[in-house]
């Protein structure tokens, strides 16, 4: 018989509790900074635009714009312009900001360069631009937009025309002191823009000095834009919307002769007869809860014939106790704001007013171009150099629209206001969500790979864009 052994319960080994300082150091302490030459990119999402550029053959088409120019052995005009487009896609403004990403391997790969040019090289290239280069690059910007419209198969497109002041803050060739609502007395440019309502893209730009009249060069620019559309899309119905700066007998007659439907804001304050019609009018017809209207056929002095004018009054948000004259550009004595629209459209007044009000979306395009695509920045002192920069900003804007149209189905129909067929996200949103993402270029087994953090939302969105581009390639 063996004696029974007494068993003792097993106990866990004693562990020392970490002090608060140790816990803080382990989980909350500041890391040690170390800067190394690695193949790291801060813009991994650019791979989407790289794929889009390939689909559009953008590099090749930009090179063709400058094939007549003798280029340096390293940096040609095409490389500089493509760099400007990327510069704006990344959200940088001034040329000197290039230094914050000149070591980015993905940017270099997108450009096909071993190193990026310095600011002096970019400035010299922009200053050396000739008229032919500007014209060809401008044609390319418009061609890309027309190709998109053709793919949509639209029966009609809406062209919006308006100007936008670009202040320079300093002397540059062609700048002058003119009308500048925000910065009075500042030298500026005053370009005209043609935008396509259905795609939210800029079709063309007419660069002008800052002291020209609103309508200076407008007629030729409008007819040229219409001609571009008709050549590319002969079966598409074109309709045009413009503000009061384009109200003239010459422009209206030219549109009539071209067979274009249009609506134009009327600067009625300049015409005593129109103001008189408003003051004497007793019966107004209900347009909606806030607006009333009436119509009148009227012929301005020196004009060739009578036209259809639609008068609209809307309750003013600011009510005045005393009568106020119309000449002061403020609500009339009855607490209304007024506007007058000239049109040759045959639809009802309500539909005409709704259609014309849709041109307000163009202001949103201008705001995005200036605040997010750096259109308001003037990099050089030369006229043509600044034209190229402006067109680069426009191309960057159009490409962000193109990317979204490729990846998504239209969310809207062609309603009365002719809104964009897509609910577009601004480029700033795309930067935050997909472009500004860290990544590393590696070569496992010799295959170039872009390694990114496994964020599910970013992964899904990037792959969605890439798959969409691959399907149409």
Q: Tell me the three state secondary structure of residue 78.
A: helix
In this predicted structure, which of 13-22, 63-72, 238-247 has the lowest mean pLDDT?
13-22
CB 353 within 8 A of CB 341: yes
- Asked if pLDDT for residue 357 goes beyond 50, the answer is yes
Nearest to 183 by CA among 210, 206, 218, 212: 210
Domain membership flag for residue 121: yes
Q: From CA 439, how far away is CA 446, in angstroms rounded?
A: 18
- Asked if pLDDT for residue 289 goes beyond 70, the answer is yes
Domain membership flag for residue 95: yes
As beta bridge partners, residue 343 has 263, 308
Domain membership flag for residue 86: yes
331: pLDDT confidence band, cut at 50, 70 and 90?
very low
- What does the pLDDT read at residue 334? 59
9: pLDDT confidence band, cut at 50, 70 and 90?
low
Q: Per-residue pLDDT averaged across 152-156, rounded?
A: 91
- What does the pLDDT read at residue 339? 92
- What does the pLDDT read at residue 208? 93
Domain membership flag for residue 53: yes
Q: From CA 473, how far away is CA 471, in angstroms rounded?
A: 6
What does the buried/exposed string (b/e) look like for 142-161 if buried means 16 or more CB atoms within 10 Å of the residue's CB?
A: bebbbebbeeeebeebbbbb
Say how many domains are in the chain: 1
Whole-model pTM: value is: 0.89
Domain membership flag for residue 108: yes
Most confident listed range (42-46, 71-75, 363-367):
42-46
pLDDT tens track for 387-414: 999 999 999 999 999 999 999 999 877 7
Range of the domain at 50: 40-128+426-472
Helix axes 119-127, 77-89, angle to 10 degrees: 120
Nearest to 121 by CA among 153, 165, 73, 85: 73
Calculate the dihedral angle through the C-alpha atoms of 345, 347, 348, 350, rounding to the nearest 10 degrees. -80
Nearest to 124 by CA among 341, 346, 388, 304: 388
Which residue reads 């002719």 in tokens? 418
The separation between CA 124 and the C-alpha centre of its own chain, rounded to angstroms, equals 27
Domain membership flag for residue 48: yes
Which residue blocks in 207-283 are alpha helix, DSSP H? 218-232, 249-257, 272-280
Q: Per-residue pLDDT averaged across 53-68, rounded?
A: 95
5: pLDDT confidence band, cut at 50, 70 and 90?
low
**By percentage, how much of the chain surpasses pLDDT 70?**
91
List CB contacts of 181: < 8 A, sequence separation 6 or more.
165
- Asked if pLDDT for residue 330 goes beyond 50, the answer is no
Higher pLDDT, 177 or 87: 87
List CB contacts of 192: < 8 A, sequence separation 6 or more.
161, 162, 163, 205, 206, 208, 217, 218, 221
Q: From CA 240, how far away is CA 196, in angstroms rounded?
A: 10
Q: From CA 369, how far away is CA 362, in angstroms rounded?
A: 11
Which H or E run contains 366?
helix 361-372
Domain membership flag for residue 79: yes
Higher pLDDT, 70 or 417: 417
pLDDT tens track for 180-223: 776 777 889 999 999 999 999 999 999 999 888 878 899 999 99
187-190: long-range contacts at Cβ-Cβ below 8 A with a sequence spacing of 24 or more? 189/165, 189/378, 189/386, 190/163, 190/164, 190/165, 190/166
Domain membership flag for residue 220: no
pLDDT tens track for 408-449: 999 877 788 898 999 999 999 999 999 999 999 999 989 999
Task: Tell me the CA end-to-end span of the chain in Å, nearest whole number.
Answer: 88
Nearest to 365 by CA among 208, 131, 205, 252: 205
């Amino acid at each position: 018989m063996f004696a029974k052994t007494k068993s003792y319960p097993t106990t866990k080994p004693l562990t020392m509790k970490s002090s608060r300082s140790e816990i803080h150091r382990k989980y909350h302490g500041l890391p040690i900074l170390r800067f190394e030459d690695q193949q790291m990119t801060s813009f991994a999402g650019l791979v989407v635009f790289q794929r889009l550029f390939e689909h559009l053959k953008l590099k090749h088409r930009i090179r063709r714009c400058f094939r007549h120019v003798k280029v340096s052995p390293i940096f040609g005009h095409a490389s500089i312009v493509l760099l400007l487009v990327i510069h704006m896609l990344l959200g940088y403004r001034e040329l000197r900001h290039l230094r914050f990403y000149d070591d980015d391997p993905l940017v270099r790969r997108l450009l096909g360069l071993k190193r990026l040019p310095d600011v002096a090289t970019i400035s010299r290239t922009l200053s050396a631009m000739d008229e032919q280069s500007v014209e060809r690059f401008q044609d390319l910007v418009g061609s890309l937009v027309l190709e998109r419209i053709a793919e949509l198969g639209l029966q009609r497109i809406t062209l919006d025309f308006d100007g936008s002041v670009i202040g320079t803050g300093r002397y540059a060739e062609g700048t002058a002191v003119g009308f500048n609502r925000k910065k009075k007395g500042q030298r500026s440019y005053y370009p005209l823009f043609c935008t396509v309502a259905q795609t939210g893209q800029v079709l063309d730009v007419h660069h002008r000095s800052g002291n020209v009249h609103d309508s200076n060069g407008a007629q030729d620019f409008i007819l040229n834009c219409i001609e571009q559309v008709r050549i590319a899309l002969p079966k598409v119905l074109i309709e045009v919307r413009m503000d009061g700066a384009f109200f003239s007998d010459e422009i209206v007659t030219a549109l009539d002769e071209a067979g274009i439907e249009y609506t134009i804001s009327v600067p009625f304050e300049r015409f005593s007869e129109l103001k008189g019609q408003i003051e004497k009018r007793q019966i107004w017809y209900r347009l909606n809860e806030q607006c009333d209207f009436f119509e009148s056929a009227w012929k301005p002095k020196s004009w060739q014939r009578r036209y259809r004018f639609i008068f609209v009054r809307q309750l003013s948000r600011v009510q005045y106790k005393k009568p106020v004259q119309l000449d002061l550009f403020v609500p009339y004595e009855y607490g209304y704001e007024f506007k007058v629209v000239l049109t040759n459209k045959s639809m009802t007044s309500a539909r005409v007013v709704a259609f014309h009000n849709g041109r307000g979306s163009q202001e949103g395009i201008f705001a995005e171009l200036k605040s997010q695509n750096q259109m308001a920045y003037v990099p050089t002192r030369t006229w043509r150099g600044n034209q190229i920069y402006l067109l680069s900003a426009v191309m960057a804007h159009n490409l962000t629209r193109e990317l979204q149209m490729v990846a998504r189905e239209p969310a809207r129909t062609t309603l009365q206001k002719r809104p964009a067929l897509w609910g577009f996200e601004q480029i700033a949103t795309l930067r935050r969500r997909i472009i500004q993402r860290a990544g590393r270029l590696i070569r496992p087994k010799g295959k170039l790979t872009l390694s990114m953090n496994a964020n599910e939302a970013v992964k899904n969105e990037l792959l969605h864009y890439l798959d969409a581009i691959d399907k149409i390639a």
